[in-house]
Structure 1
Amino acid sequence: MKNLRPLGFLTLLILAFAFIQCSDDDVKLTTPVKIRLTDAPAQYDKVNIDIQQIQFHSSNNENEENGWKEMNLINPGVYDLLQFNNGIDTLLVDQELPSGNVSQMRLILGENNTVVIDGVSYDLDTPSAQTSGLKFQIHDDFLAGIEYKLWIDFDAARSIVETGNGNYKLKPVIRTFNEATTGAISGIISPAEALPVIHAVMGTDTISTIAEENGNFLIKGLNAGTYKLAIEPVDGYLEKEVEDITVSIENITDTGTIDIETVAN
Structure 2
Amino acid sequence: MRYLKNVTFKSVMIATFISLGLTSCSDDDSETATGGSANLTVRMTDAPGDFDAVFVDVEDIEIQVQSENEMDAEADVDGDGWVSVGDVQTGVYDLLELTGGVSQLLADTEVPAGYVSQMRLILGSENTVIVDGVEQPLNTPSAEQSGLKLQLNQDFEEGENYAFLLDFDVDKSIVATGNGGFNLKPVIRLSAEADAGVVVGAIVLPADLEMSVQSLVVLTGESTTVSAYTDEEGNFSLNGVPAGVYSLEVIPEADANLDTYAIGTVEVKPNETTDLGELSL
With the length of structure 2 as denominator, give the TM-score of the two structures.
0.75
Give the 3-state SS of the residue equivalent to 2:194 in structure 1. Answer: helix
1:103 and 2:117 equivalent? Answer: yes
Superposed, which structure 2 residues align to 1:57-96 within 5 Å?
A: 57-59=64-66, 65-96=79-110
Structure with bigger RCO (C-alpha 8 Å, 6+ apart): 2
Letter in 1 for 2:118: Q
**Deviation at residue 81 of structure 1 after TM alignment:** 1.2
- Equivalent residue number for residue 126 of structure 2: 112
Q: Report the count of equivalent residues.
A: 234
1:214 and 2:221 are equivalent in the alignment: no
- The DSSP-based 3-state class of the residue aligned with 1:158 is helix
One-letter amino acid matched to 2:100:
N
Q: Tell me the residue number matched to 2:259.
A: 238
1:154 matched residue in structure 2: 168
Checking the alignment, whether the CA contact within 8 Å between 1:58 and 1:103 is kept in structure 2 is no
Q: Which has the higher helix share?
A: 1
Q: Is the 8 A contact 2:47 2:99 kept in 1?
A: yes
Q: Which has the larger radius of gyration?
A: 1
Structure 2 match to 1:35 = 42
Deviates more, 1:99-108 or 1:65-74: 65-74
Q: Which amino acid aligns with 2:58?
A: I
Structure 1 221/127 Cα, relative in aligned 2: closer, same or farther at 3 Å?
same
Alpha-carbon offset, residue 141 of structure 1: 2.0
CA contact (8 A) 2:87 2:109 kept: no
Task: Name the SS of the counterpart of 1:180 in structure 2.
Answer: helix
Q: CA deviation at 1:184?
A: 1.2
Q: How does 1:14-25 map to 2 (within 5 A)?
A: none
2:135 corresponds in structure 1 to 121
Aligned partner of residue 177 in structure 2, secondary structure: strand
> Shift in Å at residue 146 of structure 1?
0.7
Deviations, residues 53-103 of structure 1 (Å, cap 9, x unaligned): 2222344597x9544333225233321111222222222112211101111
Conserved 8 A contact 1:49-1:81: yes
> Alignment partner of 1:72: what SS?
coil
Tell me: CA distance 1:76–1:133, structure 2 relative to 1, closer, same or farther (3 Å). farther
The answer for the alignment partner of 2:20 in structure 1 is none
Inter-partner Cα distance in structure 2 for 1:118 and 1:214: 26
- Which structure 1 residue ranges, 5 or more long, are not aligned? 1-25, 261-265
Q: Report how far residue 240 of structure 1 moved.
A: 2.3
Q: CA deviation at 1:174?
A: 0.8
Q: Which amino acid aligns with 2:268?
A: V
Cα distance in 2, alignment partners of residues 145 and 107 from structure 1? 24
Task: Report the aligned-residue RMSD.
Answer: 2.5
Cα distance per residue 1:41-62 (max 9 Å; x no partner) = 3333321011222222344597
User: Matched residue of 2:158: which SS?
Assistant: coil
Distance verdict in 2 for CA 1:190–1:91, change over 3 Å: same
Q: CA deviation at 1:189?
A: 1.6
Distance, in Å, in 2 between the alignment partners of 1:201 and 1:213 is 24
Identity across the alignment (%): 39
Measured after TM superposition, the shift of residue 176 of structure 1 is 1.4
Indicate the SS of the match to 1:134.
Answer: coil
Q: Does 1:167 align with 2:181?
A: yes
- Report the CA distance between 1:165 and its aligned residue: 4.0
Alignment equivalent of 1:225, drawn from 234, 238, 244: 244
Is this contact kept in 2: 1:59–1:100, CA < 8 A? no
Alignment gaps of 5+ in structure 2: 1-32, 71-77, 206-210
Shift of 1:122: 1.3
